[in-house]
Amino acid sequence: MSNNDFNSLMPLMVLAGASVLVMLLIVARLSHRIIQLASLLLFVIAFASLLNIREMLPYQVGSLFMVDSFGAFMIGLIIFSGLVVNVFSYIYFQEKEEGPREYYVLLFLCTLGACVLAVSNHFVSAFLGLEILTVGLYALIAYLRKRNHSIEAGIKYLVLAAFSSAFLLFGMALVYLQTGTMSFAGMAHVVATANVQPFLLIGLGFMLVGLGFKLAVVPFHMWTADVYQGAPVPVTAFIATASKGGVVAALLRFFVAIDGFRSEQLQMVMIAIAIASMIVGNLLALRQKNIKRLLAYSSIAHLGYLLVAFIPGSAVVPQAVSFYLLTYFTTTFAAFGVITILSRAESDAEELEHYKALFWKHPALAGILSVAMFSLAGIPLTAGFTGKFYVLTTGIGQGFWLLAVVLVLSSVVGLYYYLRVITTMFAGTRDLLPEPPARYPVFLGISMVVLSVLTFALIWLGIYPDAVIGVVQGLQLK
């Protein structure tokens, strides 16, 4: 490996080394506080290492990885997600019965797997990244093993991941059978110089099924809400953001490389998945009284919205997908951050009843959650509105009017359950809420600072998104 190879993969090296270092800190029997702070510093170092690769983009590392501007952006977004989850994790796990120190090793490994997916340019590296991500999530989801739904959620995710890997590997085998290569660039050459063969289409179909389970889009969404409900709140936030972001990045890179958008059959399948996800996700969320399950079905709908930008296959697709993921990640972390702070040692603050009269006792948390709900609903002057507008522009620009109409109508349906959360926080009186127990003021203060920054970003991206859009428009897939 040359120096340039090493430098281009430095963020991944830091994440891999961080997991080993945290294990050594655990062996030294250091406290949870020291391990959490060390992990936070290591995430900052991994994020800062991206600054050293700006001048060398795009850069190909063998046949396995392509570190381009899009990949660097996604790595930065995923590492930032891990950093935010790390911040929220101390006050959540410190009060729990399980030893929380090994949790940070798994968090680094899952972040590493998602980052590997974001720059994969080969079936081998993509599957390796997917398995690193998935195996770590098995343990993270079931980490609080004494909770009622924790082991159930872990087993259900294990079954889903097994189905996903089986379909994905069989699809990869069929594509390899037809093309004779596992490199995305090699497949692109074969597909461009030959007619699309049946085995190739069947293989791509199986791969879509496998990735559909990972993204939890309809009709592969079964048990998604159960997994969200049973997992610890910070882990649920990671599943909803970084894990899906890595899979979306790998899928987009693969489809752009082989020009899979020109296949009418695949396009029709993805249109059906997008429409079903937008409609079913929003309809299922209407009846939810558990906020974690509500956000689970909301994430299904948002993946459907994202596919509206993905399907057209135009040159602006990477930019639209990147900006939408940025707004969705920021919004989701703001919502789950409030849930984390309100959760207690014995149970999570997941029932809507827990939020009744929240505004009268904790106006700051109620305000942050309200902004997050407005953004998820796509209300103007929030990041969610700007992201949906960007997605709509991309879809309409290529003539996909049906997808645009379904997006708008399903978003109107979604207004009901997002606004229900907000009205619940303003209902009732102050006396309905118990006094919060004394918690760790330093870490609670850090969490509140992070939540305030996320809320400011949601409003700023809704009012003045030009600066970020300018950065996103410079992203390219090679």
CA distance linking residue 201 with residue 203, whole number of Å: 5
Q: Which amino acid is at 48?
A: A
Give the tens place of pLDDT for each residue, 102-114: 889 999 999 999 9
pLDDT above 60 for 431: no
* Residues, the chain: 478
Look at residues 317, 283, 305 and name the one whose alpha carbon lies nearest to residue 403.
Answer: 305
Better-scored residue on pLDDT, 245 or 432: 245
Q: Which residue has the tokens 């509140």?
A: 448
Residue 407's pLDDT band, with cuts at 50, 70 and 90, is very high
Query: What's the rounded mean pLDDT across residues 432-456?
Result: 75
The long-range contacts involving 212-216, CB below 8 angstroms and separated by at least 24 positions, are: 212/273, 213/160, 213/161, 213/163, 213/164, 213/167, 214/130, 214/134, 214/161, 214/164, 214/243, 214/244, 214/247, 215/244, 215/247, 215/248, 215/303, 216/244, 216/296, 216/299, 216/300, 216/303
Q: Which of 228-237, 283-292, 358-367, 426-435 has the lowest mean pLDDT?
A: 426-435
| Percentage with pLDDT > 90 across the chain | 34
**Whole-number pLDDT of residue 99:** 67
Question: Mind listing the pLDDT tens digit for each residue in 168-193?
Answer: 999 999 888 888 888 887 887 777 66
pLDDT band for position 97 (cuts 50, 70, 90): low
Quick one: pLDDT band at residue 98, thresholds 50, 70, 90? low
Cβ neighbour number for residue 419 with a 10 Å cutoff: 15
Region 396-405: mean pLDDT is 86
Q: List the structure tokens of 99.
A: 């030893």
Confidence of residue 429 (pLDDT cuts 50, 70, 90): low
- Closest by Cα among 50, 42, 63 to 8: 50
The residues near 476 (Cβ < 8 Å, ≥ 6 apart) are 58, 68, 69, 70, 318
Per cent of the chain over pLDDT 70 is: 95
Confidence of residue 115 (pLDDT cuts 50, 70, 90): very high
**Lowest mean pLDDT: which of 175-179, 191-195, 212-216, 417-421?**
191-195
Which has the closest alpha carbon to 9: 72, 70, 73, 84?
72
- Give the number of other Cβ atoms within 10 Å of residue 12's Cβ: 24
Q: Round to whole Å and give the CA distance between 393 and 272.
A: 20
What tens digit of pLDDT does each residue of 464-478 get?
A: 888 888 888 877 777
Give me the long-range contacts of 28-33 (CB less than 8 A, separation at least 24). Answer: 32/90, 32/93, 32/94, 32/100, 32/101, 33/90
Residue 248 pLDDT: 92
Closest CA to 450 of 362, 323, 357, 365: 365
pLDDT value of position 193: 64
Residue ranges of domains in the chain: 262-478
- Residue-averaged pLDDT of the chain: 86
